[in-house]
Structure formats: C-alpha cells, structure tokens
Amino acid sequence: MNDIPASLYRLNRALVMDGFRQLVPISLFVLVFALAFGLAAAQSGLDQTTILAMSALVFAGASQFAALELWGEQVPLVPLLMTVFAINARHLLMGASLYPWLARLPPARRYGVMLVASDANWAMSLQAFSCDKPGFGLLFGGGLSLWLFWLLGTWLGIHFGHAISDPDGLGLDMVLGCFLLAMVAGGEKTLRTLAIWAVAGISALLAYRFLPENSHVIVGALAGGLTGVLLGRPAHER
C-alpha cells in the first residue's frame, strides 16, 4: 500500500455521478426507513424544520431513532451524546480502513468525502479499492445519493408516513444487512480474511448478548481490527 497508483484515488464529476447511480437502488430502501423516522419524529412532537435539520446534519438512522427514544421535555444530554457516539463509533473504523487512500487527498476533499460516509457506500468503495479500482466516486457520489434519499424520505414521513409505519414488519430492516453481507462475500477470500470476520462476528454476538445495548458494534469492529493487526498484512500489500 506504500505506492498506490494515482488512478485509484481520482475524484471527478464522472466518477461521482457513476457512484451516485450505483447507489440509487439501495437508496430506495433507505428512503423507506427515512419515511419511518420522519413519521416517528413528527409523532414525538418535533417540528418539521428540526426533523429535517437532524436528518441533514446527523445522517445516521440508528442514532436518530435512538435520540427520539431519549427525547422529551427534559433531554438527558450526556446519555444522548454517549448513545449517539456508541452507535456511530464504527465511522472511526471506516475512516481508518480507508486511510491509505484518503491520505492521498487534500484535507478539504478528504474530510468532504467522509461527511457522507455510510455503511453501504463505505463497503462499496473499500471493495473497489481492494480490487485496484477507484473508489472515491462510490464513496462521495454514493453518499450523496443516500443522503438525498434520506432527506426525501424524512420529508415524506412527516407528511405521508402512515403509509409505511412499520418497515421491519415488511422485512426491510434486513436489506442493508444482506447488502453488506454480499459485499463481504464478493471481497477477498483468504484464511486471513475469514479469521478476521469470524472473530469480529463472534465477538459482536457475545457483546450483543452480554454487554450494554449498541456496544456490540464497537466490540466486533475492534476485535476484527485487532485480529487483522496481529495477523499482519497480506503478502501482496507488503
């Protein structure tokens, strides 16, 4: 990874538009969850401007739903911040996994593309980089697609959310999980990779069972990352 070709970290309009188009199908499912969030937020008593601002600035479905559960006349600020941080801590590891390529970008672009990083576009961009293809178009363009559909879905939920108030009941909560699993299945298949995913998965399941809520995200990610460090880099990356 010490000598990454410049073509891998290109970022231009054509790549961004291509990334946007590739993420539209998964963005349609994101829209449904945003619709459910918009409805739930409206029912909690938040006004439209606040709800849309939350979706535009936070852009993190799980933590936004968690924030609604803690919302009230007296907002417990410290527990709210801790909950949101715990749920979104995986973004620290997303950035770390992309750092070899992000480090080649000027600071403004580097932090700009990460503003719209989410699970789906991160997974696709990392897979592209792993296959020696440019991935920043997927990361930024795909992130814009997810962000715009999340905003649109939130607005629709505020006004028409009663049409789909329970996306889990339709099995839509499994879409993103299956998508990420497909990304893993399509990636590198070595004993090292299998060991990392096995340790991460088992650790996350144990944490989900025995540790506080949402801690499994951090535990699984750290366990998998530590396993990767202990096993060392693959031969072709040395």
CA–CA distance, 167 with 130 (Å, rounded to integer): 33
For 186-209, write each residue's pLDDT tens digit: 556 678 777 877 888 898 899 888
Which pLDDT score is estimated for 69? 78
Question: Average of pLDDT values for 55-82?
Answer: 82
Which pLDDT score is estimated for 55? 94
Choice between 233 and 69, residue whose per-residue pLDDT is larger: 69
Which pLDDT score is estimated for 222? 78
Residue 176 has pLDDT above 60, yes or no: no
List the domain boundaries for the chain. Answer: 9-186, 188-238
Residue 93 has pLDDT above 90, yes or no: no
Given a contact cutoff of 8 angstroms between Cβ atoms, the answer to whether 88 and 60 are in contact is yes
Q: Which two tokens stand for residue 216?
A: 């499994």
Question: Average of pLDDT values for 154-181?
Answer: 66
Question: Average of pLDDT values for 85-93?
Answer: 80
Which among 139, 135, 102, 101 has a CA at the least distance from the CA of 120? Answer: 139
CA–CA distance, 62 with 33 (Å, rounded to integer): 10
Given a contact cutoff of 8 angstroms between Cβ atoms, the answer to whether 198 and 224 are in contact is no
Which pLDDT score is estimated for 236? 45
CA–CA distance, 121 with 18 (Å, rounded to integer): 12
